[in-house]
Structure 1
Amino acid sequence: MDMVVQGRRPSARYAGMPTWYAASANPAPQRPVLQGAHHATVCVIGAGFTGLSVALELAERGVDVIVLESERVGWGASGRNGGQLINGYSRGLDVLEARHGPDVARELGKVALEGADIIRQRVAKYGIACDLVDGGLGVALTAKQMRGLEEEAKVWAAHGHGDVQVLDRAALRAHVRSDRYVGGILDPLRGHFHPLNYLLGEAAAFEALGGRLFEYSRVLTIDDSGPQPRVTTAQGVVTAQTLVVCGNAYLGKTQPKLFGQIMPVSSQVVTTEPLGDLAAQLLPSNACVEDANYILDYFRRTADGRLLYGGGIVYGGQDPASVEAKIRPGLVKTFPQLQDVKLDFAWSGTFAMTLSRMPQIGRLSPSIYYSHGDSGHGVTTTQLLGRLLAEAIGGQHARFDVFADLPHPPFPGGQRFRAPLSTLGSLWYTLRDRLGV
């Protein structure tokens, strides 16, 4: 029998997060802090998208799982992002074919739509109230970007997704009432939702299946010298047959090898005051939108009639002095009529980026798995990777190995210089975007 995890009412800010998501979160219990000694078949570190995806996948298979979260469910980037379901990866399948060959690209293409499918299946199966809406747009500011989007539609068609529509400027206005864009593509398999409420629904489903979830239980040490991995927090210990590390940008230095493979990057988001009928006038079809710039802007309507607008990144993960000052100029360029709109919420979230811009999954030892570095495309990719991790733990490695075998080049300059060098590179690509070359 399918369980129902639903119900929606405004709640107090969740876990001290100054976000619209936290302010509109579904009711959720505060889970206990890990205390004493525990044992599980699998222990998962991190209750974000990846951690809860693999935990729920395993719980559905009858596996005994413990999840340890350093703050609260969805406290990191998983509960702070733009809430857009963007299919694929941070690099197009054509780019991946050029890098890794047609066989790898074909295998990556086979699973590129699966993450969004998992979200839709779980929302339906568990009755998760998370404002899920189908449909999303990629939009172009220049003729060069438009050619890139047209090519993207062709690449998707070559991989079996032929429903991506190319829109000229006039057709795009049925979806986005802005004069900034020369055209775009409409993908019906994209979409948007309330990511924190989705995570809370996953957590409730996991617990209903017998899973154990502990909050405010930061992992201090991982010891794999014995027959089974041993994880220690301030007040407790978990011993498990298998450990899955899903800390991503919030991993810290408990695993230096993993931390050195990624760079924390912060992204900024604002939400306006409720706009009434104006929200539907600006985005008539309620599709979500991201532009084609190297450092892109993204936006959508919320269920309570606001505009959620994000963009702007800071390499290294630091928060800007003012989120509003960083985001408002782009918002006003897109919708000049919002020049004087009040912004009710403004926040940052930190995600993990890899040099290849591809997620990294693998094994540190026969009993320790990891997944991180979704590079800004984590909403759907994490759902897929959670399933692949569960498959590998259960002995099915074929799909897992497609990702695990991808090369993981280090950042030039190491941890000290990776952020400034990446910033210099982004300035070059930003200039090219502005010049349309």
Structure 2
Amino acid sequence: MQRTDTAHPLPSSYYEATVTRPALPRLGARTEQAEVCIVGGGFAGLATALGLVERGLRDIVVLEAERVGFGASGRNGGFVFGGYSLENAELLRLLGERDANALYALTTAAVDLIRRRITRYDIDCDAVHAGVILADWFGRPARLAASRETMREHFGVDWLPIGAIELRQRLKSERYHGGLLEPHGFHFHPLKYLLGLVRALTAAGVRIYEGSPAVSIQHRKDGLRVDTPAGSIEAREVVIAAGGYSSGISRAIERAILPIATYVVATEPLGERLKTAIECASAVYDTRFAFDYYRPLPDTRLLWGGRISVFERSPRRIAQLLQRDMLRVYPQLSGVEIEYAWSGLMSYARHKMPQIGRTPDGIWHAIGFGGHGVAPTTVAGELLAAAIANREAIAPAFARFGLVPTYGRLGLAAAELHYLAKIGIDVAAEHIARLRMGRHAR
């Protein structure tokens, strides 16, 4: 991800503690030539670069302001499954069945492509192919059934139902009332995967520069020039693939996203104690607006994420908040230590869909992946690589989701109020559900 403010160091995360980073250079005080210059060393930028390499184009430069994977790509929950931040039912309502199905299918194809790349490039990224569970927090089986039917009828995928009793054998919590399993999904160590992409790209001759923020883009007669504080890249095509940490390089693109924070922790290794709470290998999230998302790690830790805010918080405060959330679901884990806590900024568009395309002045972009970006960033990389290398048109339905202004601080304030209202609705719904459950128990 592109970032020009270096005042805040990368938070200490489980992911950073468990990788070995390659030595990547800074761009020196010189001008280099390239066919394509990509601004941002996260999933979207690297997927675009690898898509170009796999189509035979290797004269590529990637500029990263910090370290590759600095932003959301190196900090996320590690869920790999279909769909976008915009709910599937809403995508269907906005686009109709044909176009909604086409866009959703791109994400399931991206999941398959990620699997193939893990194998092809021999990336050891702790991949666990056990699906992703959507757990019913409110006790609304009819809504789960409706969601499953929507996916089967309109998107051609079958999310498998899990009854309340069966789910409690896997997730030993009284909070859940059944769920759906998306068997096509999996989870992994996102930073290990990203660094595997870096190794594949550098082996192919792609030049990746860290600590080299893009500060301006100048149009030239035969292309564009991207300037950094030290040197410049002159390229035929430029791609902006920066997210919540970008600033100062393209007003039209950057004003279309809001940087929204989410929080993640990892516990100490739990050993056999993990099975007192979770006895399955699937990743899990629930049906609230501000849902918990979590997954067991190979060393028996539990990675737990959640909450949505416009504010980043200190690791200590994040640990307090998410430990409270974890114990609300699994009180049997009382006393478990939180060893890592971090936050990260996701880039959200007002319409909650990725913005993939080209501006009128000729700059390609892939931004706005929100909290559901692993597969969609790969979608963006493939679409942009095909457009640049093969002159293929980007899926027309993405034109519905353009660079809509978010209005800066006013937009952030509106987003925070929206989130608080949604959380309030969830609290009220949970209260009603508990009253209903109490009546049934009597």
Deviation at 1:234, TM superposition (A): 1.3
Q: Partner of 1:428: helix, strand, or coil? A: helix
Aligned counterparts of 1:160 and 1:354: Cα–Cα separation in 2: 23
What is the CA-CA distance between 1:121 and the residue it aligns to? 0.9
Structure 2 contact 292–307 (Cα < 8 Å) conserved: yes
CA contact (8 A) 1:229 1:240 kept: yes
| 1:434 aligns with one of 410, 423, 427 | 427
What does residue 237 of structure 1 align with?
232
**Deviation at residue 405 of structure 1 after TM alignment:** 4.0
Pick one of 48, 61, 77 that aligns with 1:66: 61
Q: CA RMSD in A?
A: 1.8
Query: Does the residue aligned with 1:129 lie in a helix, a strand or coil?
Result: coil
In structure 1, the residue matched to 2:162 is 167
Matched residue SS, 2:61: strand
Q: Does 1:180 align with 2:180?
A: no
The whole-number CA distance in structure 1 between the counterparts of 2:142 and 2:381 is 34
Mapped partners of 1:372, 1:67: distance in 2: 16
Q: How do 1:345-364 residues align onto structure 2 when only pairs under 5 Å count?
A: 345-364=340-359
Determine the structure 2 residue equivalent to 1:419.
Answer: 412
SS of the residue corresponding to residue 254 of structure 1 reads: coil
The answer to whether the 8 Å contact 1:391/1:397 transfers is yes
How do residues 32-431 of structure 1 correspond to structure 2 at under 5 angstroms?
32-35=25-28, 36-63=30-57, 64-134=59-129, 135-144=131-140, 146-159=141-154, 161-315=156-310, 317-319=311-313, 322-365=317-360, 367-411=362-406, 414-431=407-424
CA distance in 2, matches of 1:163, 1:405: 27
Shift in Å at residue 104 of structure 1?
Answer: 2.2
CA displacement at 1:406 relative to structure 2: 2.7
Instruction: State the alpha-carbon separation in 2 of the partners of residues 32 and 365 from structure 1.
Output: 33
Q: Output the TM-score relative to the length of structure 1.
A: 0.91
- Call closer, same or farther: CA 1:280–1:53 in 2, change over 3 Å: farther
The alpha-carbon deviation at position 253 of structure 1 amounts to 2.1
| 8 Å contact from structure 2 (residues 216, 248) kept in 1 | no
Q: Which amino acid aligns with 1:276?
A: G
8 A contact 1:138–1:292 mirrored in 2: yes
Whether the aligned pair in 1 keeps the contact of 2:290 and 2:306 (CA below 8 Å) is yes
Q: CA deviation at 1:66?
A: 0.8
- Could you tell me whether the CA contact under 8 Å between 2:354 and 2:401 is conserved in 1? no
Query: 1:361: how far off?
Result: 1.1
Q: Deviations over 1:286-335 (max 9, x none)?
A: 100011111111000111110000001212x5335711122111101111
Q: Taking structure 2 as the reference length, what is the TM-score of the superposition?
A: 0.90
Unaligned runs of 5+ in 2: 1-8, 433-442
8 Å contact 1:85–1:191 — kept in the other structure?
yes
The one-character-per-residue Cα deviations of 1:314-369 (angstroms, maximum 9, x if unpaired) are: 12x53357111221111011110122111100000111011111111121246420
- Give the distance between the partners of 2:290 and 2:142, measured in 1 at CA: 18
Range moving further from structure 2, 124-133 or 357-366? 357-366
Counterpart CA distance in 1 for 2:150 and 2:32 is 49
Query: Distance between the aligned counterparts of 2:329 and 2:96, measured in 1?
Result: 38
Identity of aligned residues (%): 34
Q: Distance in 1 between matches of 2:218 and 2:81?
A: 37
Preserved contact between residue 356 and residue 408 of structure 1 (Cα < 8 Å) = no
Does the 8 Å CA contact 2:293/2:305 hold for their aligned counterparts? yes
Give 1:254 deviation, angstroms. 1.3
1:178-225 CA distance string (max 9 Å, x none): 111011101111111000000000010011111111111111111124
Q: Tell me which stretches of 4 or more aligned residues in structure 1 moved more than 4 Å.
A: none
Q: Structure 1, unaligned stretches of length 5 or more?
A: 1-14
8 Å CA contact 1:391–1:400 kept in 2: the answer is no
Aligned AA (2:90): V
Point out the more displaced range, 114-123 or 192-201: 114-123
